[in-house]
Chain A
């Protein structure tokens, strides 16, 4: 079974985000870059499927600048078999659709049975690339999956929905987007890091992908970031003193008159 995992390199979730001077991007100085946490779940699931089946391979792909290669290397260290880095000046500034187009073109280059991606890329949180990939590849997709079973060329995927679990079946090949809880990602090992150095990391540009520069990157983007703002600073909390009867009455009054929530 051939598995493809698409990942995104994002700022460490503990980063204190600052807005860059242009007012529409983030200041990347000093940021520690990591693999988006949901993508780690996607990779872990692919590794487990390969280990259970005892055959097949896991390819990990990303679209991103030079620095994104380190995210691919850490996936190779965790156990992926090969990596594909989509890197081209024409791909820079891609929106979700441009990213999905490039990834779909790269995925189509080899045989594949299942594509796994994180349900959202932490930071931009669009949750679009997975479903778009499925549309572009013309295959089914199940998103925000918390449990995955594979048998007889089909998948059974569990999704957490309001008050219940929905179970979806679909044939392979398919795209699945991973939710937290799908699995517990493993730790890398020193041997894995050493072995990763010997694994193939392929770089593909626009020509290799057979794409038109007008469909991807900043040129093909259907949406643009026009402005970024930090959320308003949180107001200091209020502590109500006094006897319970008085403070409760005061709390009710504040909730009604000031916060206007009741």
Chain B
């Protein structure tokens, strides 16, 4: 077993690192302070190919292997967790499902525009009354005169207001639970589609998150994604992929928090010595770096399983997401502790990493849901059919 990156992986990582340091870093503080997604960033992300990472090359994407995708998200998150989630969502729960489940004409219509950044995508599953209980959504649809008519309210939609293509989950009858749910490709220009309020969030201040309202929203029949009744399966499949992306985002945040803490520990003097010379600080740095590495290899394992064609890697994907997101919270907490009072001040960037890390244990499946996924599979498998 060789735990080293391929030449492609290194080139992709270095390229995204240069992009993040050159394009995002000079402005990230200002974007976060303003709390608005910087629209001027979209053409730059598209030029770099970051919006088409899970789109086939025939549609102007770069169709990256999953570990490379993870490294790209990690490098973006190291500088801007907000940019990382915008990119992650567009790729994993919009570009990817269309590439995987879309018809030829759906692909023709949307994929190139997504890769070029002409449209940004989003995903509408969560509702005010249904988060972890995804099968309990109440947004409904019915067929009428060659159209689907959708009604309901979706919340916590990443890329709300700035996106124009959303994959919306709706049910034909909520009593059917999961079996009644279908996925639809809904453009923001469709009649009956509108955005509600944007959330005022603790972290990821410059990513747009908000509500999508569907009031007799008219969706052409050809915009059904996949088969009718398969919507929840599509959503859960995409979230399994999305989770390695969120794990990578958490790792990127933690890495940056570690870097600034290490730098600070080397420079900050106390009792006539740099604080890095004290074991109390050294042990913290050692634990932080160890946890970051553990999370990264757990994530890359899940990513490589997907590319090896292992259809169900949900246990490993959930393990990666669970560990990486909890780890990012511990690491950013410690990074502030090492900074002391300066860490609590907005004068230093480390308070932002702490705020940005917080949501990673909540969205794309909370830590509790990840544990359920892991446990269900552990209890279903026997020693002989466990992967690896």
- Show the binding face of A for B, using Cβ within 8 Å: 70, 73-74, 77, 187-194, 197
Residue pair B19, A193 in contact (C-beta under 8 Å): no
Chain B nearest CB: distance from A141 CB in Å?
A: 30
* Residues of A close to B61: CB separation below 8 A: 191
Residue pair A189, B7 in contact (C-beta under 8 Å): no
* Residues of B close to A74: CB separation below 8 A: 11, 14
Chain B nearest CB: distance from A40 CB in Å?
A: 11
Residue pair B12, A193 in contact (C-beta under 8 Å): yes
At the interface, yes or no: B168 with Cβ under 8 Å from chain A? no
Q: Closest A residue to B50 by CB, please name it.
A: A190
At the interface, yes or no: B122 with Cβ under 8 Å from chain A? no
- For chain B, which range describes its interface: under 10, 10 to 19, 20 to 34, or 35 or more residues? 20 to 34
* Residues of B close to A197: CB separation below 8 A: 8
Known: A189-B47, A189-B49, A194-B62. A77 touches B15 (CB 8 A): yes
**Which residues of B from 9 to 32 have beta carbons under 8 Å from A?**
10-12, 14-15, 18-19, 22-23
Residue pair B62, A190 in contact (C-beta under 8 Å): yes
Bound Cα distance from A192 to B62, whole angstroms = 9
Known: A73-B11, A187-B15. A193 touches B62 (CB 8 A): yes
Bound Cα distance from A193 to B48, whole angstroms = 10
Known: A187-B22, A187-B23. A193 touches B57 (CB 8 A): no
* Residues of A close to B95: CB separation below 8 A: none
Q: Sample 16 A-B pairs with CB under 8 A, ordered by A number.
A: A70-B11, A73-B7, A74-B14, A77-B11, A187-B18, A187-B48, A188-B11, A188-B15, A190-B15, A190-B48, A190-B49, A191-B49, A191-B52, A191-B57, A193-B8, A193-B15
At the interface, yes or no: B216 with Cβ under 8 Å from chain A? no
Kindly supply a per-residue 1/0 record for chain B positions 134-165, scoring 1 wherever the CB is within 8 Å of any chain A CB and 0 otherwise. Answer: 00000000000000000000000000000000
Q: From A77, A187, A190, give the contact of B52 (CB < 8 A).
A: A190
Residue pair B62, A191 in contact (C-beta under 8 Å): yes
* Residues of A close to B57: CB separation below 8 A: 191, 194
Chain B nearest CB: distance from A194 CB in Å?
A: 5
Q: Given A77-B15, A187-B15, A191-B61, output 13 extra A-B contacts at Cβ < 8 Å.
A: A70-B7, A187-B22, A188-B48, A189-B15, A189-B48, A190-B48, A190-B53, A191-B52, A191-B57, A191-B62, A193-B11, A193-B12, A194-B63
At the interface, yes or no: B198 with Cβ under 8 Å from chain A? no
Bound Cα distance from A190 to B73, whole angstroms = 13
Q: Closest A residue to B47 by CB, please name it.
A: A189
* Residues of A close to B173: CB separation below 8 A: none
Chain B nearest CB: distance from A210 CB in Å?
A: 31
Chain A nearest CB: distance from B226 CB in Å?
A: 27
3 residue pairs, one from A and one from B, having the closest CB atoms:
A190-B49, A190-B62, A188-B15
Bound Cα distance from A73 to B8, whole angstroms = 10
At the interface, yes or no: B260 with Cβ under 8 Å from chain A? no
Bound Cα distance from A188 to B15, whole angstroms = 6
* Residues of A close to B7: CB separation below 8 A: 70, 73
At the interface, yes or no: B199 with Cβ under 8 Å from chain A? no
At the interface, yes or no: B281 with Cβ under 8 Å from chain A? no
Residue pair B60, A191 in contact (C-beta under 8 Å): yes
Chain A nearest CB: distance from B225 CB in Å?
A: 25
At the interface, yes or no: B119 with Cβ under 8 Å from chain A? no
Q: Closest A residue to B60 by CB, please name it.
A: A191
Chain A nearest CB: distance from B149 CB in Å?
A: 39
Bound Cα distance from A194 to B19, whole angstroms = 17
At the interface, yes or no: B64 with Cβ under 8 Å from chain A? yes
Q: Closest B residue to A74 by CB, please name it.
A: B11
* Residues of B close to A191: CB separation below 8 A: 49, 52, 57, 60-62
* Residues of B close to A192: CB separation below 8 A: 49
Chain B nearest CB: distance from A48 CB in Å?
A: 16
**Which residues of B from 32 to 89 have beta carbons under 8 Å from A?**
47-50, 52-53, 57, 60-64, 72
Residue pair B60, A190 in contact (C-beta under 8 Å): no
Kindly supply a per-residue 1/0 record for chain B positions 176-204, scoring 1 wherever the CB is within 8 Å of any chain A CB and 0 otherwise. Answer: 00000000000000000000000000000
Q: Closest A residue to B51 by CB, please name it.
A: A190
Bound Cα distance from A192 to B11, whole angstroms = 11
* Residues of A close to B12: CB separation below 8 A: 190, 193
* Residues of B close to A190: CB separation below 8 A: 12, 15, 48-50, 52-53, 62, 64, 72
Q: Closest A residue to B64 by CB, please name it.
A: A190
Q: Closest A residue to B62 by CB, please name it.
A: A190
Chain B nearest CB: distance from A12 CB in Å?
A: 10
* Residues of A close to B63: CB separation below 8 A: 194
* Residues of A close to B47: CB separation below 8 A: 187, 189
Bound Cα distance from A231 to B42, whole angstroms = 46
The residue among B11, B12, B14, B23 with the most chain A CB atoms within 10 A of its own CB is: B11
Bound Cα distance from A197 to B64, whole angstroms = 13
Bound Cα distance from A70 to B7, whole angstroms = 8
Bound Cα distance from A193 to B71, whole angstroms = 15
* Residues of A close to B23: CB separation below 8 A: 187
Q: Closest B residue to A184 by CB, please name it.
A: B22
* Residues of B close to A73: CB separation below 8 A: 7, 11
* Residues of A close to B52: CB separation below 8 A: 190-191
Bound Cα distance from A7 to B339, whole angstroms = 43
Bound Cα distance from A193 to B15, whole angstroms = 9
* Residues of B close to A189: CB separation below 8 A: 15, 47-49
Q: Closest B residue to A196 by CB, please name it.
A: B11
